[in-house]
């Protein structure tokens, strides 16, 4: 029986992997993240399963190869934390390209509604029997223009949701979806026309800090920013400046560029030595969740099934339909 080491695992991961595994693999779950300090424990395993905040750099890849690990299976769509150059030709890397686009798109809209209509603040007030609605005013979303950056599966589902709200949609994607009926514009035009900007693109060299000082300078005053993709798509310092100047009316975030050692963990008893994050969370016009947009039963089921299918394909010497390589990262 092949042995698979799972890193950065939580109780909700185990439920569906244990159910769908059905004795195919010996799965050993580790709570710690995969990095240069933990990679040593992969000796004796045939495969490794990683997640979005593991640090799978060249040193880790080299150690996995040295430990005779045969495959790296990412149980996520994203893989920007994997050094594909170091892995190419030495260690196959597979991913879950799509699990539940509805989970992420619905969460994005939920965050927008929360920050716009001050829902979190309203709930906190009523729990204290404070029924004042002063300071809770939002704006109608109907008729507003939303700019969607990235029109893959999740982006297109989010577009459908926005249209259901009666919103106008424009989009930017270097690879436009053919025959989609989506109104594509340049990135600068999207910045200048949008009342709401939502990020649904992967993190690449070209998309790193796609929302920076220059981008914010082109935006309307009072724009909303939504990010449920990757934290480093947004220059957090630039975002804070835009919030302070009221260029940005509100930020609805499920990711943060320095989240790796924080998100998915209970840090409530810890002094967080990240002043930027502290400023972000303390801003009344920011709603931040901790990378939970994917977290639905349907998504977790799909992640488990596709990850195990990826492992099955490799060990049965079948083509890896969900492989990613440096030369073809979006395969």
- Residues acting as catalytic residues: 230, 259, 291
The Cα–Cα gap between 250 and 104 comes to: 19
- Given a contact cutoff of 8 angstroms between Cβ atoms, the answer to whether 249 and 285 are in contact is yes
Residue 133, class by beta-carbon neighbours within 10 Å (0-12 exposed, 13-18 middle, 19+ buried)? exposed
- Given a contact cutoff of 8 angstroms between Cβ atoms, the answer to whether 212 and 181 are in contact is no
- Given a contact cutoff of 8 angstroms between Cβ atoms, the answer to whether 276 and 258 are in contact is yes
Beta pairing class for 168-172 and 3-6: unpaired
- Given a contact cutoff of 8 angstroms between Cβ atoms, the answer to whether 7 and 54 are in contact is yes
- Given a contact cutoff of 8 angstroms between Cβ atoms, the answer to whether 51 and 32 are in contact is no
């Amino acid at each position: 029986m092949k042995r698979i080491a799972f890193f950065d695992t939580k109780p909700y991961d185990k439920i569906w992997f244990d159910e769908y595994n059905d004795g195919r693999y010996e799965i050993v779950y580790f709570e710690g993240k995969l990095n240069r300090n933990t990679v040593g424990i992969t000796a004796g395993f045939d495969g490794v399963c990683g997640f979005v905040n593991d640090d799978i750099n060249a040193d880790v890849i080299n150690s996995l190869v040295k430990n005779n690990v045969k495959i790296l299976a990412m149980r996520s769509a994203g893989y920007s934390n994997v050094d594909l150059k170091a892995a190419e030709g030495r260690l196959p890397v597979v991913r879950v390209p799509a699990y539940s686009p509805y989970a992420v798109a619905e969460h994005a809209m939920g965050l927008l509604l929360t920050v716009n209509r001050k829902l979190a603040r309203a709930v906190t007030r009523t729990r204290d029997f404070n029924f004042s609605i002063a300071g809770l005013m939002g704006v109608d979303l109907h008729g507003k223009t939303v700019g969607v950056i990235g029109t893959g599966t999740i982006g297109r589902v989010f577009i459908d949701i926005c249209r259901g709200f009666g919103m106008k949609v424009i989009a930017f994607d270097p690879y436009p979806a053919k025959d989609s009926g989506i109104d594509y514009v340049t990135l600068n035009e999207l910045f200048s026309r949008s009342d709401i900007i939502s990020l649904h693109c992967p993190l690449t060299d070209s998309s790193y800090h796609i929302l920076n000082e220059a981008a914010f300078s082109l935006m309307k005053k009072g724009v909303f920013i939504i990010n449920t993709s990757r934290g480093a798509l947004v220059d957090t310092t630039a975002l804070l400046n835009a919030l302070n100047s009221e260029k940005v009316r509100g930020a609805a975030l499920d990711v943060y560029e320095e989240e790796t050692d924080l998100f998915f963990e209970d840090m409530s008893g810890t002094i967080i030595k990240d002043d930027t994050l502290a400023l972000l969370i303390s801003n009344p016009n920011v709603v931040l969740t901790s990378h939970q947009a994917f977290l639905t039963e349907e998504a977790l089921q799909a992640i488990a099934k596709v990850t195990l299918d990826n492992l099955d394909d490799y060990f049965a010497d079948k083509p890896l339909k969900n492989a990613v390589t440096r030369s073809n990262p979006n395969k």
